[in-house]
Chain A
């Protein structure tokens, strides 16, 4: 977890700071959104509790199917 933060926080922080300094706010927002999504997934992996994407999709599909049958 510490290594992950040592690697990712300066990398994301520095790039974000450079974009904001150049007043590229839209670019900073896109970069922030994409990299923070990645950072969130990395934190889950580092904590040994990964957010399994296929299980999430499976739950959504099952929920939709059940909802449709329930109708």
Chain B
């Protein structure tokens, strides 16, 4: 079992995971100097979606997301839905592994083959996940101060280049441009559905820490965007592939504090690792809960083979990924995050009403 505080931290780090270096540029391009508002409204919708899941989970106490379809719709159809969720988690894991290798190839290790990063991260992730949910929770809790303080310290050091003019005029961007960027709701806020697999593992209820985690992560994202715009300006930030990395790379204080961008690289790598842990946990738990195998390690080996292949097959290049993300992420995520849970909830209500009716008649 993990504590509420551990789950709260896990939710924040899961959301921040790849978002910090995949989405910043796109958000600045879309929202201009007011881009810092985007995570706030997307986070608010993320909270509403979270409340909707909690409503579903209240009807199935102690059950996991992949067990609910089996309870509601029976073994054959429920298993099919659970397999779809398994594929959803695998696709997400492949996605973030590829984001990671693109980042590494684009910044500090351009010659290393992508699959080396994928396999190395997967081996460590599988080992950690095999130790159970407690290990993931404790590892994340132990590591968070080493992510939080250096990240904000490094960004504060970068404020030597700060210019308020870059944020002006405030509230000038068309609100429709900000609100129409629906892919931000899909990635990263709707992807938090993977965290619901940990709900039965959280002591004294997971709902509150989950919702607080979503809110805190959206505020963190908003502050990071504000800092990026104030330090780089809209023009530069919207053209750079990894603006946060660039912000820190340019820090130079008295020829003593220079080249501190490796700190931000390590922080980003650890954040991705935490997100990968949750996704590998989701995929392996789905297999364990739905098919009830007697062994564990062969399945981790199979997952490593599958996910390392998926990471290389997920998209052609970062440009195609960006275009796909803006166009299809929301629709794709909605199927797993809104449609299936909604149908499950409706089925549960009908079943409950039917039972009440039968009792009255009986």
Contacts from A to B (Cβ < 8 Å) = 8, 11-12, 15, 18-19, 24, 26-27, 30-31, 34-35, 37-42, 44-45, 50-55, 57-58, 61
Cα separation A42 to B304 with both chains bound (whole Å): 12
Within 8 Å CB of B332, what residues of A?
Answer: 57, 61
Cα separation A27 to B301 with both chains bound (whole Å): 12
B302 near A: Cβ within 8 Å?
Answer: yes
Q: Which of B295, B302, B308, B315 contacts A54 (CB 8 A)?
A: B315
Binary CB contact string for chain B from 271 to 313 against chain A (1 if under 8 A, 0 otherwise): 0000000000000000100011111001101110111111011
Within 8 Å CB of B258, what residues of A?
Answer: none
B305 touches A42 (CB 8 A): yes
Closest to A29 in B: B291
A54 touches B324 (CB 8 A): yes
A11 touches B301 (CB 8 A): yes
Within 8 Å CB of A35, what residues of B?
Answer: 301-302, 305-306
Within 8 Å CB of B293, what residues of A?
Answer: 24, 26-27, 30
Within 8 Å CB of A58, what residues of B?
Answer: 324, 327-328
Interface size in chain B (residues, C-beta < 8 A) = 31
Q: How far is the CB of B302 from the nearest CB of chain A, in Å? A: 4
B91 near A: Cβ within 8 Å?
Answer: yes
- Which of A26, A30, A50 counts the most chain B CB atoms within 10 A? A30
Cα separation A22 to B308 with both chains bound (whole Å): 28
Contacts from B to A (Cβ < 8 Å) = 91, 94, 287, 291-295, 298-299, 301-303, 305-310, 312-316, 320-321, 324, 327-328, 331-332
Within 8 Å CB of A39, what residues of B?
Answer: 305, 309
Within 8 Å CB of A12, what residues of B?
Answer: 305
B94 touches A53 (CB 8 A): yes
Q: Is the interface of A mostly helix, strand, loop or mixed?
A: helix
Q: A12-B305, A54-B315, A54-B320 are in contact. Are A61 and B328 (CB under 8 A)?
A: yes
Q: How far is the CB of A6 from the nearest CB of chain B, in Å? A: 14
Q: Which of B303, B308, B313 contacts A53 (CB 8 A)?
A: B313
B294 touches A27 (CB 8 A): yes
Within 8 Å CB of B303, what residues of A?
Answer: 34
B295 touches A34 (CB 8 A): no
A34 touches B302 (CB 8 A): yes
Q: Which of B306, B312, B315 contacts A45 (CB 8 A)?
A: B312
Q: Which of B294, B295, B301, B310 contacts A41 (CB 8 A)?
A: B310
Q: How far is the CB of A62 from the nearest CB of chain B, in Å? A: 9
Q: Which of A19, A50, A55, A57 contacts B312 (CB 8 A)?
A: A50
Q: Which of A30, A52, A53, A57 contacts B299 (CB 8 A)?
A: A30
Q: How far is the CB of B60 from the nearest CB of chain A, in Å? A: 24
- Which of B94, B295, B298, B315 counts the most chain A CB atoms within 10 A? B298
Within 8 Å CB of A54, what residues of B?
Answer: 314-315, 320-321, 324, 328
Q: A53-B91, A54-B320, A58-B328 are in contact. Are A42 and B298 (CB under 8 A)?
A: no
Q: A24-B294, A38-B306 are in contact. Are A31 and B299 (CB under 8 A)?
A: yes
B321 touches A37 (CB 8 A): no
Cα separation A40 to B314 with both chains bound (whole Å): 14
Q: Which of A15, A34, A41 contacts B313 (CB 8 A)?
A: A41
Cα separation A24 to B301 with both chains bound (whole Å): 16
Q: A34-B306, A37-B306, A61-B332 are in contact. Are A50 and B313 (CB under 8 A)?
A: yes
B298 touches A19 (CB 8 A): yes
B315 touches A52 (CB 8 A): yes
Within 8 Å CB of B315, what residues of A?
Answer: 52-54
